[in-house]
Structure 1
Amino acid sequence: MVTVQAKLIFESFEDKQKVLDLMRRWSSCMRFAYKRLLEGFDRNSLKKDLQGIFNLNSRYVNDAIMKAGSILESCKQSGEDPRKVVFGGRELFEKLKKRHINGNPYKKLKIEWQEKRKGNLYSRGDRSKKGNLNTRIVANERGTFLRINVGDRKYVFARLSAGYKKGKSREEILQEIAVLEMPYSVELKLKNGNMYAYFSVEELFPATEITKENGAIGIDTNAYPNHIAWVEVDRSGQFISYGKIPMPELESGSFEKREYYRWQYAHEIVEIAKEKRKAIVIERLDIKHRGTRGDFSGRKSRRIRHFFSYRSLLEKIKILAKREGIEVIEVSPAYTSVIGMLKYAPQFMISKDVASAYVIARRGLGLKEKIPANYMELLSRLDASSLEELKEYVSKAVKNVHSRRKQIKEIEYVMRMIQSPGSESGRLSAPLDGTSAGSCSAGYNLWRVLRVAVVTPLSPDRVLRDMSVLKSLLISGQVGRPK
């Protein structure tokens, strides 16, 4: 979807008041519909009642019910209590409840909260009506206007004052939308006494011309330090070049500032792919962990929610790539860091972040990763006694309680696999080919076992960023029990 913003300028004070009244009634209708949906009312029966209560036509009422339903569904998906939704914003509402705020600051906060609560209107587009029936863009020799249906077959016209979007006048974009008779949705919002319109229209992308037949660019996002690592591979998955893009601006600042820089970094990645004529491979980031209590609390859940920022960045890369006709491939991020760290970082003398991007690129081409022969020999020698020694070593060496528990938990996981009925007595049963699909009959992943056997003895407290120490192990085959 493409969104264009424009300010509404009314020819008279009476026209503006009519639209403000319409927005107030629509906002009340949406809040009323939300409460009734929460109580289990049927949408069809609710529609007839709302038209008479709020004096709105059926299209406005339909849009209000749809908006209320989307808010309710969003609350359920995020694990929030839908009964505690505050229209107008909880943050502003909590500030208004504080008694130490008074005078002009209090009045200003109250006006802002009232505008967010009552100053809304949403109207969906309709392809059969060639645009939008309730809020239609009208272009003539006098300029570009928004025709707003205020009820009883009466209309108010407001001039659209728009700036520029990527060197092109927003007004020209709105005129193109009107001429092409494309369905577009309009959302009106009240801010600081001014009224703004947001036009959303579905974007038509060109045919995909740059595909993985020429190779791929693998993208890996990293929080510490905050940067993007990218790797270029040819069509057979061979390593060609790599680079890093620092992203310090995403660590702090307002949402608008970070959103602006996310677009900038997305443009930079797409330009690299366009120049090299390669497809883009990114991770498929799914936010699934809801915390131990199901309310998204807990250390792991907070860390995963932090990656919402990176998912937003990857979404922008997908949009920009589609506009340039570049294929975007999404792959599972499972074990990409571990495989890159253990297999490719030592071979190419690169950081584990770049190595992870390399694994992502290869995975996008459909290639599978095999565990090197020397690592397989190490796994064949792994037994319960060596893991018991490693567990004792970690208990003494790691000072951080959380890190110590995490490492011991992983070691105990591998010990259970060794002691499982399907394995030999005190030995790890593994497939001979050493594939990462690599899962044995017991259902565990060999790369996870290898991380415990190799990375934990090297640095039990935290993962090393430079894994060049493993190069001699990969080449010479000097393997043994971890000490």
Structure 2
Amino acid sequence: MIVIQAKFIFLNQEDKQIVLNLMRRWSSCMRFAYKRLLEGYDRKTLKRDLQGMFDLNSRYVDDAIMKAKSTLESARELGRSPRKVIFGGRDLFGKLQKRHINGKEYQKLKTKWQEKRKGNLYSRGDKSKKGNLNTRIEVKENGTFLRINVGERKYVYARIEAGYKKNKSRGELLQEIAESNIPYSVELKLKNGNIYAYFAIEEEYPEIKITKEKGVIAIDLNAYPDNISWAETDEKGNLISYGNIPMPELASGSKDKREYFRWQYAHEIVKIAKEKGKAIVIEGLEIKDKGKRGDFSGRKSRRIRHSFSYKSLLSKIKTLAKREGIEVIEVNPSYTSIIGMLKYAPQYMITKDIAAAYVIARRGLGKEEKIPDNYIKFLNALTVDELEELKEHVKKTVRNKQLKKKHLKEINKAIEILQSLESEPGRVLKPLDGTSFSAYDFWRVLKVAVVTPLSPEKVKRDFSVLKELLIQGKWRDP
């Protein structure tokens, strides 16, 4: 779905008032339809009655009923009472009920609420009508306009005004849409006295031809340093090739500049996948919990979101891949960096970031990560006393600013996990093998035990020092 936002400029104030009146009637129609749907009315009965009641044509009424039905279903899916839906916004309504707000501040809130409640209009696109019958884009010599049906064979024209140089491409896209006769939906909204339009075009993608059948290309985005790490595998999950794409332009510059380069980097990733004939694996876009343990907790999560719009870049990769008929697989991102750092970085002598991309690739192929036997032996020999000793060492280095306070939190959690297993007879810490010790607990404790004792100067992003532990099991050496 492509959505384009634009502002309207009316030729005269009278035309604007006519459209505002239409929006008010349509909004009332939608709210009325919502209440009748709650009472069990069917669409056909509503459609017949509402046209005369609100002086709207059949299409406008049908769209109002559809929006009302959508709001009703959304409330039920979210587990909220449909009868308690407040049009205009519950938060704004709640603020208006507070008695300590008065004067200009109260009037400002009331206007905003009324605009959200009454300033709406939605018109669906129709393929048989070559676009949209009620709200049609028309390209004229003096600009691009929206022709709005305001009554029986009565129309008002509003200039579609981007307002800024940066929106020039959007205007050109609207012209292309108007000339191609593809269906598009239009939603009008009133904000701060101005009317804005949101044009939505559902893009038709070609059939998926490049799948994970021959393997995948997976990516790992890194906030520091700004780069994309990628790894290529065959269909069995074996590592074939890898690389890094630096993204210095996303660390600074204007919003438009960063947006431009996000598209460029997305094109680069899709180009690699297309040339190699591989599907693309990315981390799941729906990441909501900033405090979740794992790769996307706290500070890193915020950096990724705000420094270079992590979600925006992945979304662009998805869009471009679909246009090329390339399969896109989303996976759970939890612990991909930790697993890559401890298992594959020393094994293949690659960086932590490329190793994380490799873990993402294997997840996309449905491969489970077998924990190396030497790591299991190492952790079975680890004691709470040793971690307590490590904790005291870290406290000193934190005071000297060689390690960060977060390392203390990680050690405390590791100690807590091991203490919870003290009571289990014949403690065998083999994840998913009849104990309460999960795979994620394993990797968390292992990270503390083998990485924290090494100073940041030694570790950085090169984990080759762990190879002897991983391969030869030399875990009793200092």
Which runs of structure 2 are paired with 1:61-76 in the superposition (5 Å)? 61-64=61-64, 66-67=66-67
Name which of 358, 383, 388 aligns with 2:385. 388
The letter for the 1-side match of 2:325 is: G
CA-based RMSD of the aligned residues comes to 4.9
How far apart, in 2, do the equivalents of 1:310 and 1:407 lie?
A: 29
2:202 maps to which residue?
Answer: 202
1:473 maps to which residue?
Answer: 469
* 8 A Cα contact 2:376 2:429, kept in partner: no
CA offset digits 1:172-196 (Å, max 9, x no partner): 33210x2xxx432112345687655
Residue 268 of structure 1 deviates from its aligned partner by 3.5
Which runs of structure 2 are paired with 1:189-228 in the superposition (5 Å)? 189=189, 195-228=195-228
How far apart, in 2, do the equivalents of 1:417 and 1:53 lie?
A: 70
Residue 109 of structure 1 deviates from its aligned partner by 10
**Given the superposition, is the C-alpha separation of residues 199 and 395 from structure 1 closer, same or farther in structure 2, using an over 3 Å criterion?**
same
CA offset digits 1:338-378 (Å, max 9, x no partner): 22011111233333222101111233234443333432432
**Given the superposition, is the C-alpha separation of residues 304 and 52 from structure 1 closer, same or farther in structure 2, using an over 3 Å criterion?**
farther
Residue 336 of structure 1 deviates from its aligned partner by 1.7
Q: Secondary structure at the match of 1:210?
A: coil
- Consecutive unaligned residues in structure 1, runs of 5 or more: 293-298, 431-437
The share of aligned pairs that are identical, in percent, is 53
Name which of 441, 453, 467 aligns with 1:448. 441
* 8 A Cα contact 2:120 2:189, kept in partner: yes
1:154 maps to which residue?
Answer: 154
How far apart, in 2, do the equivalents of 1:194 and 1:456 lie?
A: 60
Larger mean Cα displacement after TM superposition, 340-349 or 271-280: 271-280
- Consecutive unaligned residues in structure 2, runs of 5 or more: 399-403
1:434 maps to which residue?
Answer: none
2:20 maps to which residue?
Answer: 20
Paired residue total: 449
2:233 maps to which residue?
Answer: 233
1:327 maps to which residue?
Answer: 327
Residue 408 of structure 1 deviates from its aligned partner by 2.2
**Given the superposition, is the C-alpha separation of residues 462 and 456 from structure 1 closer, same or farther in structure 2, using an over 3 Å criterion?**
farther
Which runs of structure 2 are paired with 1:39-438 in the superposition (5 Å)? 44=42, 47=46, 54-57=54-57, 59-64=59-64, 66-67=66-67, 87=89, 118-127=118-127, 131-137=131-137, 146-152=146-152, 154-158=154-158, 165=169, 170-176=174-180, 178=181, 182-189=182-189, 195-236=195-236, 237-246=238-247, 249=250, 262-287=262-287, 289=289, 309-379=309-379, 381-382=380-381, 386-394=383-391, 397-398=394-395, 404-417=408-421, 419-420=423-424, 425-430=425-430
* 8 A Cα contact 1:346 1:468, kept in partner: yes
CA offset digits 1:281-338 (Å, max 9, x no partner): 111244464989xxxxxx9689868766433432221111111222212223233222
How far apart, in 1, do the equivalents of 2:341 and 2:386 lie?
A: 24
Q: Secondary structure at the match of 1:412?
A: helix
How far apart, in 1, do the equivalents of 2:87 and 2:21 lie?
A: 24
* 8 A Cα contact 1:125 1:183, kept in partner: yes
How far apart, in 2, do the equivalents of 1:167 and 1:86 lie?
A: 30
Return the TM-score normalized by structure 2.
Answer: 0.72
Residue 471 of structure 1 deviates from its aligned partner by 2.0
Q: Secondary structure at the match of 2:330?
A: strand
Larger mean Cα displacement after TM superposition, 361-370 or 258-267: 258-267
The letter for the 2-side match of 1:387 is: V
How far apart, in 1, do the equivalents of 2:21 and 2:336 lie?
A: 55
